[in-house]
Amino acid sequence: MMTKTNKTDSAKAPKGLFVGLCTKDILYYTDELPAHNHKSKTEDFATYIGGPAANAAITHAALGGDATLATCLGDSTESRAMIEELNGYGVKVLNYSEYETVPNTACIVVSSDGKRTILSGQHSFRVNREYDLSDYDFVLFDCNQQEISLDILSAFGTSDGKTVVLDAGSYKPNIEKFLERADIVIASEDFKDAAGHTIFDMNCNAAHKAITRGEKPILYGKTEVVQGDCPISQEKKELPVESVVAVDTLGAGDIFHGAFCYGYFEKGYSCEEALVFAGRVASESVKYRGPREWMKYLR
């Protein structure tokens, strides 16, 4: 199993900003979904902090990285409890909506084969738009919470030496703006435009592109500029993914992104090495119930 960085070294760590969704997740483990006007009962349920950016930030911090989450949580008893829990994981929180609003909430049903069904409750927030991004070395966007994401993207777009990582989980509004600025794009197999194009076929300036495909090998391609500033895309490679028996796949993609950032920015791995490392962490995570159990086995 992977090891985490000694916290005494954290002051020297590259500082990462994870921008996007943070939710209160309510999980039910059952194979029985209720019919209309009926209810199903289960004694097997749990609650977690969820959301792509939040899970990635927690993973990055758990492995030993310096992580700050920029999100909208509102101001409520639930919001304050979530911030306290995030701080407990080592994640600093920038809550850009301190108005009296409850956080986004997701209801998730996980079946015995590890597959999940998600109902995600998301609303627009009134936000405070005062951003100081000078302290961060890289930013990861999950392309949710666009009330703040587009502003932060614009601010980072004028910052020299700042690396932008894009979690392209599904095709969302304004995605072209994120693709224009991204240095690294990690897309899911489901990420396609209306014409069915994948990240390798889209107009994207990213130097590194990857598509994760669950238990199948990761597709990776690198773009280089040669002779006359003409971008040349190298032939795609397949990077190995460990085959494991999945107990619960919840949050595996988000954990992958957080682990990639740790490997790439904190450990100094190449992009290919960081992708393979992230695959190992994500594979480890699905062996256990919920998105956090794997963290107990970090050395």
Q: Report DSSP letters for 54-74, one per residue.
A: HHHHHHHHHHT-EEEEEE---
C-alpha distance from residue 173 to each of 75, 123, 143 (Å): 27, 15, 8
Per-residue confidence at 10, pLDDT binned at 50, 70, 90?
A: very low
The CATH number given to 12-32+44-291 is 3.40.1190.20
In contact, 165 and 139? CB cutoff 8 Å = yes
> For the whole model, what pTM was predicted?
0.90
Residues of the chain with pLDDT > 70, as a percent, come to 90
pLDDT at 8: 41
Whole-angstrom Cα distance, residue 276 to residue 280?
6
Give dist(CA 156, CA 153) in Å, integer.
Answer: 5
In the chain, where the domains are located: 12-32+44-291
CA-based angle 80:14:93, to the nearest 5?
A: 10
Would you place residue 139 in the very low, low, confident or very high pLDDT band (cuts 50, 70, 90)? Answer: very high
Average pLDDT over residues 238-249: 90
